[in-house]
Amino acid sequence: MISGAPASGKGTQCEMIAQKFGVVHISTGDILRAEVSAGTEIGNKAKEFMNSGRLVPDEIVTAMVTTRLSLKDVKEKGWLLDGYPRSSAQAESLEKRSIRPDIYVMLEVPDDVLIDRCVGRRLDPLTGKIYHVKNFPPENEEIKDRLVTRPDDTEEKVKSRLEIYKRNVESILSTYSGVMVKINGNRAKEVVFEEINSLLLRLQKDKEEKSKSGELVRNENQLDSLSLEKNKWRGIPTKLNNIPHSREIREYFYEDVLQATKRAIEDGKTRLKVEISIPELNPEMDVYRIGTLLELVRILALSFADDGKRVKVCVQGSMGEGALAGMPLQLAGTRKILEFMDWGDDGVMGTFVNIGSIGAKEVEEQDGIYILVAPQNAVGNCIIGDLKAMTDAAAHRPVILVNPKLRDVPGSSGIMQTMGREERLAYAASFEICYFFRLLYYYGTQYPIMGALRMSYPYEYQLYKRVDESPKKEKYELLSTFEKRPSGEEINDSFEGKVRDKAKESKGIWGFLSSIF
Ligand code: AP5
């Protein structure tokens, strides 16, 4: 699905997407304009609405779209919906029919640019091609002579269409938040297409891989119930306050982390970190399920092994010397559990998957990828020296830190650090986040959940608000997205519906988050 304000470039991009990927482009605007010029009953009804820039009634458009979607070519080639759905009722009617996009692209363009684009737009009635008097003038005089202007492209009508668009767009975003990607449409059309193209190629690859590999492991009933739950969640799972989490919730996160990590590695990233603090994995809560963490690590490792990579899963060993030797509590016994876990009967353990600790001597010629389980500094002991030596030895091979805790902790006397503080912090920060998930609470509480922040590489950070629909039903609504991890202040502003004021002091219920982030 592609959406965006009038003249954000939907039609222009769709032309290129349909040409490259061979999908059927269904533009409600184009279909309606064709009905109007053919003088059909639908056209006559729609004309008045369109010419004044208003939306055509839902029932007319929805009937048109569902008929078009049922045709043979769409079933064979797939579809690209442009300009539909435009209201919550339209989104709802697609949901009812389980018609859902793989991706929802939203083009963002500033208002003044949109107005200029509309006023300068010209259409070729013969080929349907879109031109612009300045940006994309026609190729020759013959075409120029036959170009027409859309009746709804006057400045006044564009302003009113823009207002209607803004009023409606919010109501459908929560339906597609899980698959939504915002794209800056205020760049050359080729540059915009390049970004969409790489997203679609990646999506295509993910789908092919899924159908080839991972899904075979699960039995079909499991898969069905999982995808049903996933579709219902449309973004992130609900009921995250219930511990232990249901299996579907855990599987949702395992899959989410796996896809993000794979995408980052495919893009050539080699220093990565996953930060996921669902209640079962949040060390600040009173329950910390090491099994969930190790299950996540096992899924990552087996999936990379399935791709033919040799994976080394590493847990830091005891740190310090003699009577002062110790381990962070969170990791006690972890290595043993890892060794006892079920790694399948096909001899993966010991060949494609190996278990090790953290340090340069763990790095062996045959290793392809390293997964480090929650490496952390402890009082009096700093893991970063060993970690740095290990990554230096690993060179170009990917190293993934899962839930690391590399902030400085208070030292105790007699500790020798291999690097200075600044250098250690810079090293810890050199790992790029490929997956992030954190629940948001009021200051000082861990109940109720107010929202969540999620990022899955290469997409933006998504800020969700938790909404109670009825006593036992909740959902997460997408509030805003951010290119970089938002500060507590930014989160606060989004929750309060404010436009961000950079000079503003950090105040309010979320102010505390600045210290966490
Ligand atoms: P529709 O045709 O869908 O209009 P729209 O959403 O207002 O979008 P536009 O077609 O104006 O713009 P676009 O984003 O496709 O931009 P384009 O590529 O042409 O709908 C028309 C009407 O039909 C609605 O108002 C409504 O009445 C009715 N309707 C449709 N769907 C409906 C629904 N679901 N429910 C109810 N009613 C519905 O580009 C614009 C211009 O900018 C062009 O000149 C182009 O050359 C230029 N341009 C494009 N990209 C760039 C770029 N990157 N840089 C510079 N210029 C560019």
Which residues contact ligand 1 via a Cβ below 6 A? 4, 6-12, 28-29, 32, 49-50, 53-56, 61, 83-84, 86, 90, 117, 120-121, 130-132, 135-136, 152, 161, 188-189, 192
Edge-to-edge order in the sheet of strand 79-82: 24-27, 79-82, 2-4, 104-108, 180-184
Q: Averaged over 53-57, what is the pLDDT?
A: 92
> Which residue has the least CA distance to atom 5 on ligand 1?
6
Please give the pLDDT value at position 317: 82
* Residue 82 scores a pLDDT above 60: yes
* Residue 220 scores a pLDDT above 70: no
* Integer Cα distance of 313 and 357 in angstroms: 8
Pick from 16, 42, 49, 130 the residue to mutate for probing ligand 1's pocket: most ligand atoms within 8 Å of its CB.
130
* Integer Cα distance of 316 and 322 in angstroms: 17
Q: Which amino acid is at 129?
A: K
Active site residues: 10, 86, 121, 150, 161
**Phi, psi at 183, each rounded to 5°:** -130, 135
Residue-by-residue DSSP string for 209-256: HHHHTGGGTS-HHHHHHHHHHHHHHTTS-S-TTSSSPPHHHHHHHHHH
Please give the pLDDT value at position 381: 74
Pick from 27, 48, 56, 187 the residue to mutate for probing ligand 1's pocket: most ligand atoms within 8 Å of its CB.
56
> How does pLDDT run across 104-154, given as a tens digit for each residue?
999 999 999 999 999 999 999 999 899 999 999 999 999 999 999 999 999
Q: Which atom of ligand 1 lies at the shortest distance from residue 122's CA?
A: 44
**168 Cα–ligand 1 center, Å:** 15
CA-to-CA dists, residue 334 to 243, 274, 316, 331, 337, angstroms: 21, 18, 9, 5, 5
Q: Averaged over 352-362, what is the pLDDT?
A: 93
Please give the pLDDT value at position 178: 77
Q: Averaged over 405-421, what is the pLDDT?
A: 64
Pick from 45, 55, 62 the residue to mutate for probing ligand 1's pocket: most ligand atoms within 8 Å of its CB.
55
Average pLDDT, the chain: 85
Question: Do residues 81 and 175 make contact, with C-beta atoms less than 8 angstroms apart?
Answer: no
Tokens encoding 271: 């220093």
Q: Which amino acid is at 388?
A: K
> How does pLDDT run across 278-323, given as a tens digit for each residue?
999 988 777 788 899 999 999 999 999 988 899 999 999 876 666 6
**123 Cα–ligand 1 center, Å:** 11
**74 Cα–ligand 1 center, Å:** 22
Lowest average pLDDT, out of 54-63, 156-165, 322-331, 474-483, goes to 322-331
**47 Cα–ligand 1 center, Å:** 16
Q: Which atom of ligand 1 lies at the shortest distance from residue 86's CA?
A: 34
Highest mean predicted confidence (pLDDT) among 63-77, 199-213, 276-290: 63-77
Secondary structure class of 467 (helix, strand, coil): strand
CA-to-CA dists, residue 228 to 238, 256, 436, 474, angstroms: 13, 15, 24, 17
Q: Which atom of ligand 1 lies at the shortest distance from residue 30's CA?
A: 2
Res. 228 pLDDT band, cuts 50 70 90: very low
> Which residue has the least CA distance to atom 48 on ligand 1?
9
Q: Which atom of ligand 1 lies at the shortest distance from residue 152's CA?
A: 25
Please give the pLDDT value at position 323: 67
**7 Cα–ligand 1 center, Å:** 4
Q: Please, which residues have CB within 8 angstroms of residue 459's CB and are 6 or more apart in sequence?
A: 181
Question: Do residues 395 and 389 make contact, with C-beta atoms less than 8 angstroms apart?
Answer: no
**71 Cα–ligand 1 center, Å:** 24
> Which residue has the least CA distance to atom 52 on ligand 1?
189
Alpha-carbon Rg for the chain, nearest whole angstrom, is: 26
Res. 491 pLDDT band, cuts 50 70 90: very high
Q: Please, which residues have CB within 8 angstroms of residue 510's CB and are 6 or more apart in sequence?
A: 440, 443, 488, 489, 491, 492, 495
Pick from 1, 2, 3, 12 the residue to mutate for probing ligand 1's pocket: most ligand atoms within 8 Å of its CB.
12
Q: Which amino acid is at 405?
A: K
Q: Which atom of ligand 1 lies at the shortest distance from residue 131's CA?
A: 46
Q: Which atom of ligand 1 lies at the shortest distance from residue 130's CA?
A: 46
Res. 6 pLDDT band, cuts 50 70 90: very high
* Integer Cα distance of 376 and 202 in angstroms: 33
**141 Cα–ligand 1 center, Å:** 25
* Integer Cα distance of 454 and 437 in angstroms: 4
Edge-to-edge order in the sheet of strand 369-373: 353-356, 311-314, 369-373, 399-402, 271-277, 432-441, 449-456, 461-470, 473-482
First and final C-alpha spacing in the chain: 33
Q: Which atom of ligand 1 lies at the shortest distance from residue 161's CA?
A: 25
> Which residue has the least CA distance to atom 2 on ligand 1?
29
**61 Cα–ligand 1 center, Å:** 16
Which residues in 252-382 belong to E strands, given as ranges?
271-277, 311-314, 353-356, 369-373
* Integer Cα distance of 39 and 366 in angstroms: 70
Please give the pLDDT value at position 10: 96
Q: Averaged over 465-469, what is the pLDDT?
A: 88
